[in-house]
Copies of this chain bind each other. A is one copy, B any other.
């Protein structure tokens, strides 16, 4: 049962260590302090617009849930917060409701709770033929196709025939009225894959790199054979590297996610070229903490973002992408070997 698995995932992610042991790589990224910011921190403007929708901050609660009775409460809370703060929110895979329409309300509750926020639908690449129907389930601003080959490969019941996905995405982008986002779920997207996706009409990419929730980790708990999940626990392109690869490869907007846990990491991602950052696990955990917890969480997160933006002298997100940052260590090594230039960020402010 899909919906049972959904519950299992929610519980596992909330209670067990399901995160990558290897890091996002943001520790390797150092923003260069500006002793003379020459801006007013009070006037820092985090607003942006993504896929035609205005947002008060470049933050998206990425796809988490739907399809299980318990999803209703979670999605409602997430959507209320998203609505209150005017940030983005993604639904969990809508497959359950496409296959079992009784479950539709576990998803539509989000649009009800957040009538104006950027709301993103979700369907897995193996169920791409359901994308159109899913996109019509409610008033959605975009449809995310999630790519999750790592989990599919590890879980016994996984769908491991990924042939024709690109062609299918092309068809989907053509027939769909709303823009299509391609998103990974924790193993990252390379510059090359991003280019392919852009070429078939995808309108934004959520890199969902490694360093946060690991689907190999999640499956380790669910599987009798622990070895496979443990072996692939750390598989993937670290989020910092993935963000750079994608941003140097495509023109469409980029959501950087996977292991982003505070506003400082968010600012690094944004300065590296992301148009917004996404988070799932910490948001899910916070949603259980009671009334107002999510609002407090995001408020703090935005405060943290503003501190870093102040300290590099960026009044808005566009200026942030002109500030200096240094890429060191393994992230620099990865990018250099891969042919991506790391020095272009290091002194761009004075060009």
Contact = CB atoms under 8 A, between A and B. Distances in A.
Given A35-B187, A35-B193, A190-B35, A304 B231 contact: yes
A235 interface: yes
Contacts of A160: 40-42, 310
B337 A346 contact: yes
Contacts of A165: 36, 38
Contacts of A161: 40-42
A19 to B, nearest CB: 17
B339 A343 contact: yes
Contact of A196 (B36, B304, B328, B334): B36
Given A311-B150, A328-B330, A330-B328, A32 B190 contact: yes
Category for how many chain A residues contact B: 35 or more
Contacts of A189: 35
Interface string A278-308: 0000000000000000000000100110111
A228 B36 contact: no
Contacts of A306: 153
Interface string A201-244: 00000000010000000000000010110011001110000000
Contact of A338 (B236, B264, B303, B326): B326
A349 interface: yes
B337 A39 contact: no
B262 A231 contact: yes
Contacts of A349: 192
Contacts of A318: none
